[in-house]
Structure 1
Amino acid sequence: MDLNEAFHIISEEEVQEINSALEEGDLCKATERLHESLNEIDNAPLNIAVTGESGSGKSSFVNAIRGMDDEEEGSAKTGVVETTTESKPYVHPHYNNVTIWDLPGIGSPNFNSSAYLNLVQFSRYDFFIIMSSERFRYNDMQLAKEIQSMGKKFYFVRSKVDADLHASLRRRTKTFHEENILKEIRDNCINNLHDGGIRDPHVFLLSCLDIDKYDFNQMQEILEQELPSHKRHVFMLCLPNISLPILEKKREALRKEIWKWALLSCAVATVPIPGLSVVCDVAILVKEMVKYQKAFGLDQCSLQKLANKFGKDVSELTSVIKSPLVLTEINKELVTTLLTRGPTGILMTVEYAASNIPVIGTMAAGSISFITTYWMLYRFLKDIAEDAVRVVKMALGSPV
């Protein structure tokens, strides 16, 4: 296996360190560096700036993107008047390395884009969301140009499109067509930005009250494509579980990681210390299985939020979950039991015996550890992803 190709979200420098350690036969050093690199991927900081004029829905967007409602403890304060006078960080409830920043409004007649970016500490953000509930104005465009000149990405969000659709329906009862109205709004925004000197703008139509509708899937796809690979991984995992495409992307992102953790397990198993591999395998499996629960929103707190959002009883959602492990607390005791029973238990026994045989035995132990870790993570991911799809379909009222 070519490590340079496989570790596409690990830096070249880190890959070289791991390769060098392996070539020198220093398995301990290679294992340690591999473990550090994988943890750095999961914990890569992601800072998203949300800005726009007063009343554009910035705070509601901050809450929606974090999977929270406006009245929930820890949510961004919302209101009909400007409630943000300074940059306020809101940490994602499940990912401490992800922060959504609610920036001050930019509606002042004396707005200066350069001074504004200095005020909000421009350099700490990975990208900017510029919001408007109507047409994008001069200040929005000036800010976008300043951001672009400084080498950062920005995206326009036209919010509150649900209100526009409702108003249009009342005015055009007989001729109303939702897709046509949305196209009119989008074209108007794009043409307006073109007139202001913004070329090829990304414009997404959203409703923070129904974040799963309209352009949310398109927005997450564009952001995923344009973020650096390690940030892309974090961004995908922290998205709210509100659509089937998001669930599938999460499954694919996590699936690509499995072999790396299995390789780490293999590397540890080749270290000639009996019992070390089992301890490592348990730690890896607990960490990753808990991460899967969190990523797919199948912990009890997330299920309750989903039920509340769609007006369901949480028992309706849990009734379609088939895997007995999905709703179970994942801990060391549970994983140790899983490792020591059935075919997996036989493999672990063979691995332990092999680890006591110099050279050839430790190589065999490494192979067994790789297979065991890979299979258990692959199977659990498959089961929990399928259960997540059934839960979201139930929430949306689709056939399960």
Structure 2
Amino acid sequence: MATQFTISEAEILEMSSVLQSHRVTDTVAQVEGMLQQMTDVTLNIAVTGESGAGKSSFVNAFRGVVDDAPEAAVTGVTETTREATAYSHPSARNVILWDLPGIGTPSFQSSTYLEDVGLLKYDLFIIVTSGRFQDYHSALAKSIMQAEKKFYFVRNKVDQDLEASAKRRIKQALADEDVLNSLRTDCEKNLRKGQAEKSQVFLISCFYPQRYDFAALQMTLLEEMEGHKRHALLLSLPNLSTAVIQSKKEALASGLWKRAMAASLSSVTGAHTRTHSIIPNVMNTLKSYQQTFCLDVDSLQRLASFTDISLEELQKEVTSTFGKELSAHTVEGLLSQAASVQPMLANQLEKMVPILGTIVSGGLSFVGSYFLFNSALKDLSQDGERVMQKVFLGSLSKHTD
């Protein structure tokens, strides 16, 4: 932890403008309120399409849950969803995927489908299909656009399409890329016929989310989402690409001073002594970082269930102290080490941000928390990339066997 760091001028100005009160209790409430706004928002994602397309499997894959897990959406070869069913993300409860009934079934005809499932309560739609493009896909896309909602068209089960094509490959001499391009072109052409010109098509397999367009779908959703809902979506995503991991790191870093401020001021308002009351707050933040980068035991266990890689093998890729099981003793040692790194910066901060000067060791406590969280984001993002690479190589090896 000998690395030197500085707090940007923009962050100092933001702190100064926000923390006007000299009353510690008011400041704590203000900072905690800002953090709470980011977690209070709810993102509702509707997953729709025809019966048997794999909507429930998509809900599970998006949440990083295998189909036979206790918290999984029910899947099957026949229509298993009779009514809109909500499934919250295992570690981001404010992200909810709605498994909608299949369009075109006797109970849900295309003409009244969106009204029947409650169109207005969803933030965006994922249209999942497999097999041939149908007229009701175009009608559904057009209706969603008319309601000024965003939708994304997902062609599922492309692994099965590739396997079927391979049986005919001697005659057709088609490479995998040719097959996938043909599928994409067909979907895009039919969507244009239905006046959904701006629609994007993603080719995926819910059984192999590390392949094909699943990661591209993630990044597209992020690029087109705004504000706190984008933040909620980002923190819920599985690590399917380096871009997602780096986006998580940047998003968490943007709110880092608030986390550090809340932790350092908890040492004053806490019921325990200053030395110990900061520890639970810091531990909670570090554990939330572990979950965001999918490195906590539950997340790794879900990932192990999704792949042929054991939990123990995945845990070996987590090499940082921050990625391990955290104890109060470990966190206290890390915090003490971090707090001693730059006492001069603490003194400068107390002059520039008056609220810190009203607290004995307040600036030093803030610097220690800030530095600790900053180091954790760097190390955990690297752990996340190693785990992702392990899964990717395992998936590639299995695919080529």
For residue 382 of structure 2, the aligned residue among 375, 379, 386 is 386
For residue 338 of structure 1, the aligned residue among 323, 334, 340 is 334
Q: How does 1:201-240 map to 2 (within 5 A)?
A: 201-240=199-238
For residue 392 of structure 2, the aligned residue among 387, 392, 396 is 396
Structure 1 unaligned blocks of 5 or more: 8-17
Alpha-carbon separation, structure 2, partners of 1:56 and 1:64: 14
What do the CA deviations read for 1:100-143 (whole angstroms, capped 9, x no partner)? 11001112489655632232222221111111102432222222
Indicate if the aligned counterparts of 2:45 and 2:97 stay in contact, CA closer than 8 A.
Answer: yes
Residues 139 and 162 of structure 1: CA distance in aligned 2, closer, same or farther (over 3 Å) = same
For residue 369 of structure 1, the aligned residue among 344, 365, 369 is 365
Instruction: Give the corresponding residue for 2:127.
Output: 130
| Other structure's SS at 2:365 match | helix
Alpha-carbon separation, structure 1, partners of 2:203 and 2:142: 21
Residues 264 and 276 of structure 1: CA distance in aligned 2, closer, same or farther (over 3 Å) = farther
Does the alignment pair 1:292 with 2:299?
A: no
Alpha-carbon separation, structure 1, partners of 2:147 and 2:12: 31
TM-score in terms of structure 2 length: 0.83
For residue 183 of structure 1, the aligned residue among 181, 184, 199 is 181
Q: CA deviation at 1:186?
A: 0.6
Does the alignment pair 1:63 with 2:73?
A: no
Deviates more, 1:39-48 or 1:190-199: 39-48
Alpha-carbon separation, structure 2, partners of 1:212 and 1:139: 29
TM-score in terms of structure 1 length: 0.83
Indicate if the aligned counterparts of 1:63 and 1:69 stay in contact, CA closer than 8 A.
Answer: yes
Report the AA paired with residue 65 of structure 1. F
Kindly indicate whether structure 1 or structure 2 has the higher relative contact order, using CA contacts under 8 Å at least 6 residues apart.
2
Residues 30 and 149 of structure 1: CA distance in aligned 2, closer, same or farther (over 3 Å) = farther
Residues 359 and 175 of structure 1: CA distance in aligned 2, closer, same or farther (over 3 Å) = closer
Alpha-carbon separation, structure 1, partners of 2:21 and 2:312: 56
What do the CA deviations read for 1:308-360 (whole angstroms, capped 9, x no partner)? 433123322222332234221x35454234334x4636889x98xxx9xx989
Q: How does 1:302-313 map to 2 (within 5 A)?
A: 302-313=299-310
| Other structure's SS at 2:139 match | helix
Does the alignment pair 1:91 with 2:88?
A: yes
For residue 36 of structure 1, the aligned residue among 33, 37, 53 is 33
Q: CA deviation at 1:232?
A: 0.8
**Cα RMSD for the two superposed structures:** 3.4
For residue 149 of structure 1, the aligned residue among 138, 143, 146 is 146
Report the AA paired with residue 139 of structure 1. Y
Instruction: Give the corresponding residue for 1:247.
Output: 245
Q: CA deviation at 1:45?
A: 1.1
Q: How many residues align?
A: 381
